[in-house]
Amino acid sequence: MAKPAVLTHPESLKRPAGPSEYAKDPVNASMSKAEKIALYTKMARIRHFEQRCIRIYQQGKIGGFLHLYVGQEAVAAGTISLLGKNDHIITGYRDHGHGLMVGMGMNECMAELTGRVTGCSQGKGGSMHYFAPDKNYWGGHGIVGGQAPLGTGLAYAVKYMGLKGSCFVYMGDGAVNQGAVHEAYNLASLWDLPVIFVVENNGYSMGTSQERSTAHPGCLAKRAEGYNMAWDVINGHDVYEVRAKTALALKRAHEESKPTVLEIFTYRYFGHSMADPDKTYRDKEEIKEYRDKKDPVLAYEQELLREKVLTAELSLQINEAAMAEADKAAIFADESPDPTVADITKHIYWEEDNRGPKTTSRGTIIFE
């Protein structure tokens, strides 16, 4: 078997998922039954949405890239379930899970993948560019690490306006070597900004393992020390652990206006994107090991069955409903219209989309 993906995975990841050590943590123990079921449901919905996308992609209906979140659900689910009114999120292009977690609908998300005008970006963004500003979700970004300064700016704005809030900046293990990320780390720490950098370490930047891309021998989060920032590592297959440790970072953001780097160890079952044949950089045994023994959605189901919050029948209902919802969304996406040629030149400039007594500019702004 090839060397494991991530050399610095915590001990807890080396054994199969079992009862969570964090179930009794106040942030989890205080959840009502309904909240726990809702959290499980959201994780299951992400799983089923993503899996339904595969078939649509293989039918040639999704162009461009499709970066699936399957296997990483607990990261988005655990962190986003803690968000309050003034907590914002921004991520890279593996963004479907985050979108569904903040409450975007499967219909608009699926329709965006097939480029329809009923999509969440009216067919103008695609898979990598889901946005829901009314839900504090600022994208969906395609350039690795480019979202880090943006998210730092969102936190800056929250602080500027005197609000108690934060911005979660999600990125992959490959992003931590981008210059923009380092600049963002420095600014967040220097200016005491309430940023929570979440490194979703799934072991591989596309096909390049952490060992082959990062000089620092320790975990990725430890480099936060170079920027005088707090950091922590989290087993991302345990949604309770994600919640418990993230809650501490959130408290630091809200009460001290200081940033944190959280490295959440997770795994993706599918390739980097659907275009990745996934043949050269990891063993099938490794994927099977995670699927069978460390699946975050299954782990939480087991946890809730143990807690007697879920029953087998309820779990089945939840999963079947999620599958049905995804199927309906696929039909919606298929039957929706495309944007028009006239739509191509809309939504470029706010001033053009909102021409009125207050807009003052003139002249030609769209050229032929």
Partner 1 sequence: MAVISYREALRAAMREELKRDDKVVIMGEEVAQFNGAYKVTEGLLKEFGPKRIVDTPISEAGFIGLGIGASMLGIRPVMELMFWSFSYVAFDQIVNNAGNIRYMSGGLINCPIVIRGPANGGTNVGATHSHTPEAILASHPGIKVVCPATPYDAKGLLKAAIRDNDPVYVMENTILYNDKGEVPDEDYIVPLGVADVKRIGTDLTIVAHGRAVITSLKAAEILEKEHGVSVEVVDLRSIRPLDEETILASVRKTHRALLVEENKPFCGVDAQVAYLIQSKAFDELDAPIHRVSSIDAPQIYCKRMEDQQMPSVDRVVAEALKVLA
* Nearer Cβ to partner 1 (331/365): 365
32 is a contact residue toward partner 1 (CB under 8 A): no
Between strands 195-201 and 166-172, the pairing is parallel
Give yes or no for residue 157 binding partner 1 (CB under 8 A): yes
Q: Tell me if 26 contacts partner 1 by CB under 8 A.
A: no
Q: For tokens 């809030």, what's the residue?
A: 165
**Minimum CB–partner distance for residue 8 and partner 1 (Å):** 27
Site stretch for partner 1 (CB under 8 A), options 35-43, 177-185, 227-235, 299-307: 177-185
Q: Is 289 exposed, middle or buried (0-12, 13-18, 19+ CB in 10 A)?
A: middle
Is residue 152 part of the contact set for partner 1 (CB under 8 A)? yes
Q: Rule CB under 8 A: is residue 142 a binding residue for partner 1?
A: yes
Please compute, for residue 368, the number of CA atoms within 13 A of its CA located in the half-sphere on the CB side: 0
- The region of 10-18, 19-27, 150-158, 220-228 touching partner 1 under the rule CB under 8 A is 150-158
Minimum CB separation of residue 234 from partner 1 in Å reads: 25
Q: Which of these segments, 8-16, 123-131, 239-247, 262-270, binds partner 1 (CB under 8 A)? A: 123-131
Q: Which of 66, 68, 85, 86 is nearest to 76 (CA)?
A: 68
Half-sphere exposure of 152 (CA within 13 A, CB side): 22
On whether the CB atoms of residues 243 and 272 are closer than 8 A, the answer is no
Question: Is 350 near partner 1 (CB under 8 A)?
Answer: yes
> Which residue stretch of 271-279, 301-309, 319-327, 346-354 sits at the interface with partner 1 (rule: CB under 8 A)?
346-354
- C-alpha closest to that of 128 among 112, 113, 116, 140: 140
Interaxial angle between packed helices 239-251 and 296-306, expressed in degrees from 0 to 180 and rounded to the nearest 10: 100
Instruction: Catalog residues that contact partner 1 under the rule CB under 8 A.
Output: 88, 90, 119-125, 129, 131-133, 138-143, 146, 148-154, 156-158, 160-161, 167, 179-180, 183-184, 186-187, 190, 345-351, 353-354, 360-367
